Amino acid sequence: MQCSHKSVRKQLFILITFMIGMFSLSANELPLQKESISRIEYPPEIQYISALIQSKDTSTLVYESWKGFEMNEGDLHYSELNVLNEKIYFDTAKVVLPNKKTLIRSSISHVIIDGVDWLYFIESNGFNSEAIAYRAKFKDSALVEQEKISLEVPLSSSSNARWSVMKNNNVALVYTDKKCCKLYFSISKDGVKFETPRYIGNTGFMPHLSSFSDGKLLYLFQKSFRSSKEKPNGKPIYITKSHFRVSNNYGQTWSEYTPITLTDDTVHDAKAILRLDGNIDIYYVYPIQEGKGLSLWRKCININGGLGNEELVVQHDFGNIAKPSIHRIENGKMLVTFVEQGKVVLEGEHNIYGAIISADSECI
């Protein structure tokens, strides 16, 4: 039986449409491939957490950069960026001015208060030394209008302090106790003077706070966890695993702590971003299989604490990934930055990379 010309044209149209779709898949379909990932810095320094400032004319990524693994000296670097055809391009990285008077400037956070962009950070003369916290605006490559933050308890670079704004417009601070390792939460109504910190009932590291659209808070942290595996001598193997707690009353009380995944592998460096539907996406790292480097994953958590399905964010053979940061940009897209550590962590380059993700994860 012969096909009509109309039928042939229809089938040809379908085929062409399919092929166009295949070749027009954006470079940021997950998992991200190497060609859609841009490198921001090169040796000799190593980088970690980033913050993104966006204005009508420019977007600027500000991030921590350290002289070496001992973390005896660190500063803030910045790079202006632009996005073209789903690919992100970064200008040459530069040091944030004015030059610091201490050995370390770190713990960068970006907070928007009443439409004004603020960078929160700390300065100290040692990773475990007492630090002074500040906030400042960023203008023409420099920190301006710098203000000292009033805290009842001193911080250090090891506190991994992070600031964020809550739905009630108060500014929240989460950190690990300088003496190690209790986790705290503190709030400020004006963004400068912070109230007496509250111990959340857990010890841990790498705290991170995010807010659901209804005002509930999500507190992420990582802690030691006994796995089901044993050493040859029969002793248990302990791993680091990221957990979360939720508060319905702006940090007065918290839910029971829950691991973000039940794998027996190390899971850490969890960060979060508010989704367009009001829920939250969590980004975190753990090995795709035993003996492999760390891969970047994500999953949704809804306002009731339910977890969605896991998605691989970066192709697993890209490298040994750590320290993700996620930032919302135009049209619902996101900028994700992360560090590639190398096969041997203390010998790897630890330089920062960035890529565009087109949409939030699937949610339950």
At 219-235, the pLDDT tens digits run 999 998 787 888 899 99
Q: How far apart are CA 344 and CA 101, in angstroms?
A: 33
CB neighbours of 356 closer than 8 A, spacing ≥ 6? Answer: 27, 28, 36, 83, 86, 87, 88, 329, 333, 334, 335, 336
Give residue 22's region: left, alpha or beta (phi > 0; psi -120 to 50): alpha
SS3 340: strand
Report the Cα 238 to chain-centroid distance in Å.
25
Please compute, for residue 75, the number of CA atoms within 13 A of its CA located in the half-sphere on the CB side.
17
Q: How far apart are CA 19 and CA 11, in angstroms?
A: 12
Q: How far apart are CA 177 and CA 183, in angstroms?
A: 6
pLDDT at 249: 97
pTM score, whole prediction: 0.89
pLDDT at 331: 84
SS3 43: coil
SS3 11: helix
pLDDT at 116: 97
Environment class of residue 107 by beta-carbon count within 10 Å: exposed (0-12), middle (13-18) or buried (19+)? buried
Look at the block and give the residue holding tokens 């630090």: 131
SS3 180: coil
Domain boundaries of the chain, sorted by first residue: 28-357
Start-to-end Cα distance in the chain: 48
Q: What are phi and psi of 36, to 5 degrees?
A: -100, 5
Amino acid at 191: G
**Per-residue pLDDT band at 134 (split at 50, 70, 90):** very high
**Residue 270, token pair as written in the block:** 């969890």
Q: What is the mean pLDDT of the chain?
A: 90
CATH fold of 28-357 reads Neuraminidase (2.120.10)
Q: Residue 24 pLDDT more than 50?
A: no
In degrees, rounded to 5, the angle at the alpha carbon of residue 345 between the alpha carbons of residues 176 and 244 is: 35
Percent of the chain topping pLDDT 70: 92
**Per-residue pLDDT band at 15 (split at 50, 70, 90):** very low
CB burial readout 169-196, b (16+ within 10 A) else e = ebbbbbbbbbeeebbbbbbbeebeebee
Torsion of CA 111, 113, 118, 123, to 10 degrees: -70
Choose the weakest-confidence range: 68-82, 101-115, 122-136, 287-301: 287-301
